[in-house]
Structure 1
Amino acid sequence: MTESKKFKMSIRERVRATGESYCAARRVLLRRHEKALGQRAEVIAVAGMKGGIGRSTLAILIACEMHLRGERVLLVGLQPAVIPFGEPMKYPNTIQHWTTRTENSGFVGPASITIRDRMLASPEFAELTSGYSLVIVDCPRILEVQYAAMLWADTVLIPCSTASESARAVDDARALIALGLRKNPNLVSKVVIANEQPRTSPRRIAALREAASECGVDVFGVVLRDRVAFGNCLAGC
């Protein structure tokens, strides 16, 4: 993760003036920067290592719902540095694709941006989120990026599919949550059941809830339904 040249220069100037270590000077300047920006927005990271599980769908739906309730919402799509900026994403229901579609359709939804993942560890992220009450971060399927997002987040939501083996899905979610709690002990974590098709049997949903309970993972009461229909609708807009 990189920081702006201006901020690095400020750190070095403080080190020369005070004799502090680079890390100590950086912590002081970051605290001052956040205080100057006022109250920090609540940050919800939508994570998970399984592809096509509905991370972007869940992030978009939460952002739109809270926007309609009157919250000042910013929807953030993280783009890994290994992908050239501006390149189209693989899946149609990404934040970048959704933003383009909504602009063309005239729908006035929450504010949305796509940023490089490295910006999570820089003061620029605090500036971008300034003025918003809620920030929803859609994480790509890259462990390092999800870890960085959980360090900043207040809450992490992890969709878990009923289509895959329940115990394996919950175990993966538990491992990801444990990783975030190492550096962010105040992180609130929830698993969201992704019922990918309307015909998914209640027995499979019950099995996923039972597996989560045995692993000590909290399951959100809401079930993400018709994700495939949502993606197909967006792709056809």
Structure 2
Amino acid sequence: MLEVKGLRKVYRSGSREVEALRDLTFTVDNGELVCLVGPSGCGKTTLLRCISGLLDPTAGDVRVNGKPVDGPPPGMAVVFQEYGRSLFPWMSVRDNVELPLKQKGVGRARRKQLVEQSLEAVGLTGTASAYPWQLSGGMQQRVAIARAVAYEPQTLLMDEPFAAVDAQTRADLEDLVRQLWKRLGVTILFVTHDIDESVYLGQRVVMLSTSPTVVQEELAIDLPDQRDQLTTRADPRFIQLRTRVYEQIQAAKRNAMR
């Protein structure tokens, strides 16, 4: 489904160059839920922008379904970190969710159906006429997820989507993502700086180094498919896996200081 090969990104300002990504290579299989985790400032968002066609890489290749990415790929949706900036405050919840469907050329009746279904899927039935500023932060992020779901994507990119919500809301949204992933059969690449979140959500965790970024290690998450916040996080295997990820992140930081 998704292939990143030898990806490199260099930012240039006058005579100065900053290498953000260096020779990044990994794949995400069809229907897989993969988490990307790394130290703060390691270029996770830059990577996601390159994958989504919003930023041109300096070198390397990104392919979705075997086709090179040279702009936003059809069938891909993105949930951004800052829901307050990705939702239009002057538009109702319905209009926010419906907007990309209009751009996609979906008919009015089908748009209405998709909006209703996606709002129901994220637990926001009855909020269609509300405005984002009337909702809590967690509910606003659910609207952003509903907008992505309504688009009926094959691939969903999520850029630290729960970073700005409280711990209880975050746990609820983590479970929501897994529910939607199973229900829709969508391929998800989930970027996070939260180690526990990466282990709880993913089938696999790709660990990144500090900038200039490379893939430091990939870790298969061999936890039971059925997960919940209490049982899974108390599982000794969960603790072993999150310890391994933490060790790699700390190793990346130490290497950067040498």
Regarding TM over 0.5, the answer is: no
Higher strand share: 2
Question: TM-score normalised to the size of structure 2?
Answer: 0.27
